[in-house]
Amino acid sequence: MSDRQILRVMPREMRMMSERIFSLSALPKGFALMLTDTVMYSQAMGLGGFAHLETGIEALKAADPQRLKLTEDRDGSLRMDCGGQHAWIVLPSVLDLLGLEAARRDGARILLENLTHPEELELAEGFGLRLGLAVKVSGEVVSARTCPPEDPVLEHALKDGCRIPAELWWRIWALAQTALTPDSVISRRHAGVNIVTEDGQIIGRTDNDDDTDPNFINSVGLKTKEATP
Q: Alpha-carbon torsion 9, 11, 12, 13, what sign?
A: positive
**How far is C-alpha 214 from the geometric centre of its chain's CA atoms?**
36
**pTM for the whole structure:** 0.78
Q: What is the pLDDT along the chain (229 residues), one digit of tens a residue?
A: 445 699 999 999 999 999 999 998 888 888 888 899 999 999 999 999 999 999 999 889 889 999 999 998 887 789 999 999 999 999 999 999 999 999 888 889 999 999 999 999 999 999 999 999 999 999 999 999 999 999 999 999 999 999 999 999 999 999 999 887 666 666 655 556 666 676 666 666 655 555 555 555 454 444 444 445 5
Q: Which pLDDT score, from 0 to 100, does residue 30 have?
A: 86
Residue 125 contacts residue 135 (beta carbons within 8 Å): yes
Check residue 206 and give its pLDDT: 56
Residue 76: the pLDDT is 79
Helix residue spans in the chain (DSSP H): 11-22, 29-34, 38-44, 49-61, 87-104, 123-130, 152-160, 166-177, 185-189, 214-227
Q: What is the pLDDT of residue 224?
A: 46
Q: Cα–Cα distance between 150 and 52 in angstroms, integer?
A: 26
pLDDT of residue 151: 96
Instruction: Name which of 148, 42, 43 is nearest 91 in CA terms.
Output: 42
| 112, 81 contact by CB (below 8 A) | no
